Amino acid sequence: MWRWLRHAYLWLVYFLLYAPIVVLIVYSFNASKNPYRWGGFSLDWYARLLDNDLLLRAAGNSLLLAVCAATLTTLIGTLTAIALQRYRFRGKALFNGMLFVVMMSPDIVLAISLLTLFILAGVQLGFISLLLAHITFCLPFVVVTVYSRLVGFNPQILEAARDLGAGEFHMVRTVLLPIIFPAVLAGWLLGFTLSIDDVVVSTFVTGPTFEILPLRIYSMVRLGIRPEVNALATVLLALSLIALALSHFLLAKREGNPA
Amino acid sequence: MKTRTPFKTAVLTVTWGWMIIFVLLPNLLVFSSSFLQRDELEFVRLPVTLENYTRLLDPLYGGVMLHSLWMAAVTTVVCLLLGYPFAFAVSRFPARLKPLLIFLVIVPFWTNSLVRTYAMKLLLSTNGIVNDLLITIGLIDEPLRMLYTEGAVIAGLVYILLPFMILPLYAVFEQLRRDLLEASYDLGAGRWETFVRVVLPLTLPGVIAGCLLVMLPAMGMFFTADVLGGAKNLLVGNIIKNQFLDARDWPFGAAASLMLTIVMALLLLAYYRSVKLIRRRGNDVALA
């Protein structure tokens, strides 16, 4: 009896989590103009996406931003994780504290603090401000991902490299990086997803010259139901799932890896 | 490693520089501007004042604030009531199935929250599927007006934030030792007593961590209130956004955002206290 109830409850919660997404996907193939009535299968809304220049440009901007943000975040984040794991330095507690604050504090708090900084420093709102903001909020997540991999392997490998005469930089490049590479890639994917999904921070630090996809969608769905948003959402969902599956695969390989 | 190498110096310079310029400095700016006054041209000006904080308690804003806190609190409680039994149920499954079950919870977490809010709007519309369903099974005759209500905002927030509650709860249930439960049964406690006196205290850190991860975004996610709640159901996030982007009253917006930070600090404190308490109790038991 208890067992039965437990299973039923589990499926109920999964149903609640997935039903809205499934409805969204199904209706993106709807032939009817009425967004609530099923009128047969069609790809009309997808075709219409390709005609929408504004949307396509926003999508291109988002992709550019997410790739740049993810790459730079991964670079800085990996270095940060290495520094945190290998070096003792003054103010490490404060440093950890700041990373933790970025991770925990509500997006909106981070957003206004960065907006204030950009305005006071005279940074023009647009691509650069978006990039700097995205790197900042992705950073702790990449650091945590890479760090957890760094603490998981045998430090004697590094000592061996040192004994064999490798300098610090050489050792990091030829020994450390290959070992933590799956985590670095997973960090990149996480950064990419966080960046391309962000609405809150981007709303504040965006400028008129550089519109990105989530903000374009935001202004579309604020007003009502738009069937082409269903199609767009389905495409985005598929992309997120691919990124998730990839990162899961990369991190799962860790268990099978003796290093 | 205490030796100095050029590589180490370079790494530390970049990471410290980034944190100071983009984390420490901006937060100090917001903190100090919350004590200043509004200015049309320069955004803020002297003299120093506490007026922004007293305005938060002002009936005009106070009402909106309270309503927003209320919606965030209800969201948190609903997530907890849904997530707690769920995390427990998953933790009792065979070990080989657990990763898959948890993976299924993470998938929605990786998908765009704006898109999921929109999906919620699609469901709750007057002509939407939920109304259709209710009419078909004869529960109601007329479609209900569900969109643009408090309930819609809470439903949307719960839907988006539920994974954030489930994951920390699952982590504590995984650490819960089965032998403690058996000891409790052996000592004559029933199911209910075991739950209240053993399970609940031991899973408290997970409960608080989950509440932290749900409540803070539930106060800040202005787009959910915007898309599902209409003009009347605002979150603290909407107030902050209006002050910064429309009303151009930065000091007041900064004060509201500081209030969010204070709530965060209190919840974090509660989390650390609960973890400490359990460790100490655990030691007492071990010594006894």
Q: Which residues is B44 bridged to in the sheet?
A: B38
Contact between B213 and B164 (Cβ < 8 Å) = yes
Which residue from B282, B22, B5 is spatially nearest to A170, judged by alpha carbons? B5
**Domains along the sequence of chain B with CATH:** 53-287 (1.10.3720.10)
Residue B12: HSE in the Cβ half-sphere, 13 Å Cα cutoff: 16
Give contacts of A 171-230 with B, CB under 8 A: 172, 193, 196-197, 199-200, 203-204, 214, 217-218, 221-222, 225, 229-230
CA B272 to chain centre: 17
ipTM associated with this complex: 0.84
Asked if A8 is an interface residue toward chain B (Cβ–Cβ < 8 A), one would say: no
B165 touches B213 (CB < 8 A): yes
pLDDT in tens, chain B (288 residues): 456 678 888 888 888 899 899 989 999 998 988 888 777 666 666 777 777 788 888 877 788 888 888 999 999 999 999 999 999 999 888 888 888 898 889 888 777 888 899 989 888 887 777 888 888 887 777 787 888 888 999 999 999 999 999 999 998 998 887 888 888 888 888 888 888 888 888 888 889 889 988 998 898 889 999 999 887 888 889 988 988 888 888 888 888 888 888 888 888 888 888 888 877 776 666 554
Cα distance between the two ends of chain B: 41
For chain B, how are helix, strand and coil distributed in percent, rounded to 5?
75, 0, 20
Radius of gyration, CA atoms only, chain A = 22
Q: Dig out the tokens for A28 from the structure.
A: 């993106």
pLDDT of residue A258: 40
Q: Which of B179, B287, A97, B194 is nearest to B279 (CA)?
A: B287
H or E element in which residue B133 lies: helix B129-136
3-state secondary structure of B43: strand
Task: Report how far apart, in Å, the C-alpha atoms of B129 and of each of A20, A28, A81, A232, B121 are.
Answer: 10, 15, 48, 20, 10
Q: Across the 259 residues of chain A, what is the mean pLDDT of every consecutive 10-residue run?
A: 85 92 88 75 86 88 94 93 85 86 86 92 92 94 88 78 81 84 88 89 91 90 80 86 81 54
Listed residue (B206, B209, B210, B200) closest to B165, CA to CA: B210
For the entire predicted model, the pTM comes to 0.86
Verify whether the Cβ–Cβ distance A9 to B25 is below 8 Å.
no
C-alpha closest to that of A173 among A110, A244, A82:
A82
A252 phi, psi to nearest 5 deg: -70, -30
Tokens in use for B103?
């993976």
d(CA A17, CA B277): 34
Residue type for position B218? A
3-state secondary structure (DSSP) of residue B39: strand
- B92 interface with A at CB cutoff 8 Å: yes
CA distance B120 to B128: 10
B117 touches chain A (CB under 8 A): yes
